[in-house]
Chain A
Amino acid sequence: DAKTTQPNSMESNEEEPVHLPCNHSTISGTDYIHWYRQLPSQGPEYVIHGLTSNVNNRMASLAIAEDRKSSTLILHRATLRDAAVYYCILRPWDNYGQNFVFGPGTRLSVLP
């Protein structure tokens, strides 16, 4: 499985934008980039995913590098409720034999 690398932790101030990076230098052409987050004492929550183009939804934006070897999850205005562990995961569209491989993720702290 292709692997991802994320910083262990990041800090942000409330109401400021947050850019969470993810490196995936061994990504293949069929890999989707997925982002999930896990709040304390809860199951993971889907945030966003994309293949090649940048994606936006009500929660966040996903910026994908042109060579697809890295991506950035953008939270436009961090709130205290955004404090969580954020996971960047690769998953091929032709899934057979592949799994969701979760790494340790990035622990985001949001300061009031």
Chain B
Amino acid sequence: ETGVTQTPRHLVMGMTNKKSLKCEQHLGHNAMYWYKQSAKKPLELMFVYSLEERVENNSVPSRFSPECPNSSHLFLHLHTLQPEDSALYLCASSQEWTGTYEQYFGPGTRLTVT
């Protein structure tokens, strides 16, 4: 247990569906992150939030929409996804958004787009 939880753990959705991934951290951290891990590829950073403000958006398609209502919760809203979006989506948090602090990852949501 890292103190970062993600739900659901598995999700299958059609290309026309809308779904949301949820992340919650119980560590009192100020920064939260979304990563994507496709098969046979390194982790890719998608979004970074610091104190509920988005500070990084790594050229992610608009069909992925993040939301950070408070420093403990992070959502990733999904709509009209493509099969190539099938991947493991990981949430992480850290004390602050600097390299001084380590990140703690959740277990991920395995997403399959059909």
CB within 8 Å of B: which residues of A?
Answer: 30-32, 34, 36, 42-46, 49, 90-96, 98-105
Distance A92 CA – B98 CA, assembled complex (angstroms): 7
- Can you show 18 pairs from A to B with CB atoms below 8 A apart? A32-B100, A36-B105, A43-B2, A43-B90, A43-B92, A44-B90, A44-B105, A45-B2, A45-B105, A46-B103, A92-B98, A95-B99, A96-B55, A96-B97, A98-B99, A99-B48, A100-B43, A102-B44
The binding surface of chain A is classed by DSSP as loop
What is the total number of residues of chain B having a CB less than 8 Å from a CB of chain A? 24
Chain B interface secondary structure, helix, strand, loop or mixed? Answer: loop
CA distance A32 to B102 in the complex (A): 10
- The 8 A CB mask of B76-92 against A (1 = contact, 0 = none) is 00000000000000101
Query: Which B residues fall within an 8 A CB radius of A?
Result: 2, 4, 33, 42-45, 48, 55-56, 58, 90, 92, 97-100, 102-108
- B56 → chain A, closest Cβ, in Å? 6
> Within the complex, what minimum Cβ distance (angstroms) separates A7 from chain B?
15
CB distance from B91 to the nearest CB of A (A): 8
